[in-house]
Structure 1
Amino acid sequence: MIAGMTASSIGLLFLAGAGTSPAQSNDTALIARAKAIHSRVIKLDTHNDIEPANFTPDCNYTMRLTTQVNIPKMVEGGMDVSFMIAYVGQGPLTPEGFDDAYRQVVAKFDAVHRLTEKIAPDNIGLALTPADVLALHKKNLRIAVIGIENGYPIGNDIKRVKEFYDRGGRYMSLAHNGNSQLADSNTGEVQGYLYNNGLSPLGREVIAEMNRLGMMVDLSHPSKGANMEAIRLSKAPVIASHSGVRALADVSRNMDDEQLLALKKNGGVIQVVGFTSYVKTDSKERTEALAKLREEFGLTQAAGRGGAGFGGGRGRGGAAANTSRTCPVEVPGAAPQVRGAGGGRGRGNAALEALSPERRADYDKRLAEIDTKFPAASRANVKDFVNHIDYAVKLIGIDHVGISSDFDGGGGIDGWNSAAEAFNVTLELVRRGYTEEQIGKLWSGNLLRVWGEVEKVAQKLRKG
């Protein structure tokens, strides 16, 4: 018998041990360690879309809205920094198109300023520099930063780059889905390019002006050729604010190894995105079978999961608030909305609806056969997402990889479908063996470092 222990106490010890396996004990310890790490590192997401109608006195991010990001959900998930996006979809390259895009983007700049300066200054502050991020974090405030998605609203006026910087924009992509006046888009792989898979003369000037001002160049959405040219031209490190690894999910929105290696050489960072159709795609066999079926029935290419990476269920609104709308406050106990679920089935296509009943029945029968033989990919989860992080870290190093979601713009995966679930990403990183220092780099350190280096380059350029 062990000294100092009675038979009954030994029995209790045995029963306690029988109720907790070593694996359970290890998992409990791992979760506790992950929670401690999550509480200490700064968590920063480089891409969250916004709708100005949710930035009004009566309906705003102090409320728990159905949006994937708002202050209550950031607090619940321990998220510290949200890059709120001044996004405008690609429209016609005409004076009228440029004017409309400008109105839309200004409304989004104004929305973020309204939130941080009038609606909730005691809860969230606007950061214009990496130092601002650290200072606001020390004050225990949530932090907003503004990113610009699509240079389309610049029109042909390069002076607007400085205007957008002065309004708070700290990164900008030169295109979205569809070629802009500045750069070819990833969608050009299917739809064709304007600038031979590259930048326009104005686009090259814009990159130089962004370098001079200290605005990060964003590679998410332009074409590969445009990105490679941007990397060559930029005097400062660049970012990909929300992209995946093409070797794991072959869509045009993701970066292949050549782009990733060029990004590393440039000193930049890829913010790996938790967007299900950029994380996990249908098999090559399914994709080819669906394409063949659509071609046979005279249907246009659909934008489902595993397609060319267009659209993606963005659900983004216009510039102006609709005064008649109902504020989308989340109902307690309601099931969360599943975003970015993808589809890959080609439903909703006008040409499909126009088929005769006999042809439609034949199409549906053939589609069902494809579904049976080559099932659609299940929705991506946190493990699938961290696989992309793992791949990028192994290829280009821990210092060049970060984290993003594209929440409220189509993003979301099982286990990380809102800012409230951010801990699950940290937990999976801990399970994979990442250290606290590495996790800090992934969540924010690398992006803040690149941002700071962009500022230093700008200071040198302005000094001449």
Structure 2
Amino acid sequence: MHKIFTLLLAAFSLLSFGQTIEQKAAEIHNKVFTIDSHTDTPLKFFKGDFDIGLEHDGRKGEGKVDIPRMEKGGLDAVFFAVFIGQGERDSLGHAKAFEKAEQIFEATHQKVKKNKKKAEIATTPKQGYKLEKKGKRAIYLGIENGYPIGNNLDNINHFYDLGARYITIVHSHNNDISDSSTDRVGPEYNGLSTFGEEVIERMNKLGIMIDVSHASDSAFYDVLELSSKPVIASHSCARALCDNPRNLTDDMLKVLAENGGVIQMCILSDYVKKLEQSPERIEGKKAFRKKHSDWSNYTEEERKVGLRDWYQLDVEFPPNLATVSDAVDHIDHIVKVAGIDHVGIGTDFDGGGGLADCSDASELGNITLELVKRGYSEEDIRKIWGGNFMRVFREVAAK
């Protein structure tokens, strides 16, 4: 009853001064520094001549993030993920993963440099705020999956020098660092490996944020116990609202808050709300997996074909998507459990992220509108849209 009264009072106050809720939300969205902590947009760089300086149509499989749509959606900064799918865990597999990571770093630097009048690569929180004041977009880099580290800690230093400012330690399958939350084989180390413990120590020392999205529950707790600095979950939601192993339990949310870290609410529907999908889409995905069953050994041309087929699935068999309201339910829950200082936004655009009413970067203002409708203050929204994440970024980067 109190919340309903608060919302009605807020609406009445806005209308009394001649400003609609939509106008108020747009004003706040324009004022606050906004950062999306996780997108897989670099995957598009290996599908033809994708130019992030041009506007594309995400509903046609052309990608969900580019500079024009960041501008339309009021997105000041973004983390592009250098994503490496898990392959063979031997010297050859590690060498291939390392080489692929370097290629993605190079491609990203080139794409951004081509659009230097509109965007720049950033490596510190301060640079992001400076670029915002210049009207430019800040492009940060992270690594999704610690696989290209191989068994060499010095590779972490190398990737830091290339611009990486966080590493998602594991992806969908166990690697040499950590158990994954979704490996069908099950846990290998019951958390972190011995080498994984050394990785955490090195990342702390260098000032690279440790990302626990995709990590198993046991690995999550190992990281939180070992890390001397705050930790992030760059694209995860609340398991209490959507029972997916990729999401964090209430206890995990509390521990993350005690650590000073932040969970970045993800808008990939599978992590937001369980929804029935059409039989055609289910069969389409099965056919895709059958056709592309040896991804780790693909040639560059085969990889391009695979990516094209993956994005085409959403065109031919549109998914049943959750809504912005469903996603903000997760923010409400995280705030209730962990507090307003420990939640942010990491869309997972171009990696599956997208909602029925927030399909790409141009529509991110719809999240702010929902937050305003629910009574969140400008300061609350400033924290959610970037303040909390950038605080962690600063604390981790501090030597």
- Mapped contact 2:44–2:63 kept (Cα < 8 A): no
Q: After the TM superposition, which of the residue ranges 269-278 and 72-81 deviates more from structure 2?
A: 72-81
Provide the secondary structure at the position in 2 that maps to 1:445. helix
Change beyond 3 A, Cα 1:57–1:139:
farther
Structure 2 residue identity aligned to 1:46 = S
Which deviations, in whole Å up to 9, do the C-alpha atoms of 1:100-141 show, x marking residues without a partner?
Answer: 111221111112211222x11111011100011111111110
Query: CA 1:275 to 1:319, structure 2 compared with 1: closer, same or farther past 3 Å?
Result: farther
2:121 aligns with one of 98, 107, 126: 126
Deviations 1:248-305 (A, max 9, x none): 000100000111111001000000100101000159xx9xxxxxxxxxxxxxx9999x
Aligned residue in 2 for 1:387? 329
Any conservation in 2 of the 1:249–1:278 contact (CA below 8 Å)? Answer: yes
Q: Which amino acid aligns with 1:187?
A: T
Query: For the Cα contact (< 8 Å) 1:271–1:404, is it kept in 2?
Result: yes
Q: Residue by residue, what CA displacement relative to the aligned partner does 1:176-204 show, whole Å, maximum 9, x if unpaired?
A: 0010010000014x4311102x0001100
CA separation of 1:121 and 1:282: change in aligned 2, threshold 3 A: closer
Aligned to 2:168: 173
Label 1:282 to 1:452 Cα distance change in 2 as closer, same or farther (>3 A).
Answer: same
Structure 1 residues 322 and 136: alpha-carbon distance in aligned structure 2, compared to 1, 3 A threshold: farther
Q: Identity of aligned pairs, percent?
A: 40
Matching of residue 153 in structure 1 with residue 148 in structure 2: yes
Preserved contact between residue 274 and residue 412 of structure 1 (Cα < 8 Å)? yes
Alpha-carbon deviation of 1:446? 0.4
Specify the alignment match of 2:259 in structure 1.
Answer: 266
Asked if 2 retains the 8 angstrom alpha-carbon contact of 1:175 and 1:222, the reply is yes
Root mean square deviation of aligned Cα: 3.1
Distance 2:394 2:195 in 1: 26
CA contact (8 A) 1:269 1:402 kept: yes
Q: Which residue does 2:91 correspond to in 1? A: 95
1:193 to 176, 187, 196: 187
Cα 1:338–1:253 shift into 2, 3 Å: farther
Which aligned pairs between 1:229-244 and structure 2 lie closer than 5 A?
Answer: 229-244=222-237
> Hey, what does 1:375 align to over in structure 2?
none
* 1:71 aligns to 2:67 (yes or no): yes
Q: 1:42 aligns with which of 9, 13, 33?
A: 33
Distance 1:392 1:340 in 2: 29
Which residue of structure 1 aligns with residue 137 of structure 2? 142
Asked if the contact 2:65/2:361 (under 8 Å) is kept, the reply is: yes
The correspondence for 1:397, drawn from 339, 344, 363, is: 339
Structure 2 unaligned spans of 5+: 1-11, 57-61, 309-313
Task: Give the whole-Å Cα distance in 2 for the aligned partners of 1:340 and 1:205.
Answer: 43
The gaps in structure 1 that reach 5 residues or longer are 1-21, 287-300, 305-309, 329-335, 342-377, 460-464
Matching residue's letter, 1:193: P
Name the stretch that deviates more: 442-451 or 90-99: 90-99
Q: Does 1:451 align with 2:393?
A: yes
Runs of 4+ in 1 over 2 A off after TM superposition: 22-28, 50-59, 301-304, 316-325, 336-341
- SS for the counterpart of 1:191 is coil
TM-score (norm 1): 0.73
Indicate the residue corresponding to 2:103 in structure 1: 107
Q: Tell whether the 8 Å contact from 1:338 to 1:417 is kept in structure 2 after alignment.
A: no
State the structure with more CA Rg: 1
Q: What is the one-letter code of the residue matched to 2:33?
A: I
Question: Measured at CA, do residues 338 and 126 of structure 1 come closer, stay the same or move farther in structure 2, by a change above 3 Å?
Answer: farther
CA contact (8 A) 1:55 1:61 kept: no
The alignment covers a number of residue pairs equal to 363
Distance 1:386 1:244, change over 3 A: same
SS of the equivalent of 1:211 reads helix
